Amino acid sequence: MDKIGYLFSGQGDQFPGMGQELCQISPAAKEVFDLCDSLRPGTSQQCFSGTEQELRQTQNTQPCLFAVELAAFRALEEAGAPQPDGVAGFSLGEVAAATASGLVPLETGFRLVCRRGQLMQEAAGKVPTAMVAVLRLNPDQVKTLCSRFSQVYPVNFNCPGQIAVSGLASQMPEFQAAVKEAGGRTVPLAVQGGFHSPFMAETARTFARDLEKLSFQTPRMALYANATAREYTPQTAADLLSRQIAAPVLWEDTVRAMVTRGMNTFVELGPGRTLTNMVKKIAPAARALTAAEYLQEVAG
């Protein structure tokens, strides 16, 4: 029997209109949007008709993507999809995965992602930073190139041949030139700051203080952490949720850990196909499909 892993998207997959069709066909999805609107008025409006520029602002991106992802999760439950055997989320998607697992209630998860987005946007505004994806180079090559610069860091180990890098905006052109000289290629990422790097250290500490006030439940399924590629427990939750803001995302290791646990079907809960495409590179033998594709399959 297939074991199923749900993967929750991170920033970069957002687009105007995301989630609207889902809301129209699923009462359970609409309930998620209604709750999010009650806590943060205008969330569904931003998802359905916000501009690209509006959705790119971190304080908007994170709650909007969270709403879409939890709406997809609830729509799959409503359609009779089996409970996944494990969940993981990329960056902000980890808050969505934690919520879907039952670590925190939906309302708490949404409040957390709103706070996280606000803090990260504030941090990004203090120092001009940027992120790029480095393609065609291996981790050691990327680490070596980053070491030549005082404030450029390898941060997201996505899949074979793809590593994201955060750095000072002023150092990025020279870094990109170095990547090209080494035989690689860079692609700018649609985010507003140097996330998962030392630039976010103070933000992580502030978020940790917010998390200290919460109690966490035992997840209903295996929940994997970006910072360690290992499973959460209620005792480690506050540390892992805060640490991941400034720590690298070990995504390739996370997917491999889920495969080792027997998961051979992965469903991306989010508006795009970024994680689906990564899975195909990390675990070619596994099935990888979007929530829309899986919902159609489940509904028959």
- What integer pLDDT is reported at residue 82 of this predicted model? 95
90/14 same-domain check? yes
The CATH code of the domain that includes 134 is 3.30.70.250
- Exposure pattern of 83-118 as b/e (b: 16+ CB <10 Å)? ebbbbbbbbbbbbbbbbbbbbbebebbbbbbbbbbe
Q: Per the structure, how many domains does the chain have?
A: 2
287/236 same-domain check? yes
152/264 same-domain check? no
249/293 same-domain check? yes
- What integer pLDDT is reported at residue 66 of this predicted model? 98
Out of 158, 188, 218, a domain closes at 188
CB atoms within 10 A of CB 35: 17
pTM for the predicted model, two decimal places: 0.96
- Give the DSSP per-residue string, 127-153: S-EEEEEEES--HHHHHHHHTTSTTEE
Q: Which of 73, 75, 66, 65 is nearest to 25 (CA)?
A: 75
Q: Which residues contact 169 (CB under 8 A, 6 or more apart)?
A: 128, 129, 130
- What integer pLDDT is reported at residue 130 of this predicted model? 94
- What integer pLDDT is reported at residue 300 of this predicted model? 74
Out of 166, 188, 210, a domain closes at 188
**Cα 144 → chain centroid:** 26
Q: How far lies 97's CA from each of 7, 152, 217, in Å?
A: 7, 29, 13
Residues acting as catalytic residues: 91, 196
Q: What is the mean pLDDT of each run of 10 residues along the chain (300 residues)?
A: 93 94 96 98 97 94 98 97 97 98 98 98 93 96 97 97 97 97 94 92 97 95 98 95 97 98 97 96 97 90
Q: What's the first-to-final CA gap in the chain, in angstroms?
A: 19
49/184 same-domain check? no
113/29 same-domain check? yes
For 228, the domain range is 3-125+197-299
- What integer pLDDT is reported at residue 120 of this predicted model? 96
Give me the residues paired with residue 88 across strands: 7, 224
- What integer pLDDT is reported at residue 2 of this predicted model? 84
260/232 same-domain check? yes
The CATH code of the domain that includes 82 is 3.40.366.10
Q: Which of 167, 134, 173, 169 is nearest to 153 (CA)?
A: 167
176/273 same-domain check? no
CB atoms within 10 A of CB 163: 26
Q: Are 185 and 179 in contact (CB under 8 A)?
A: yes
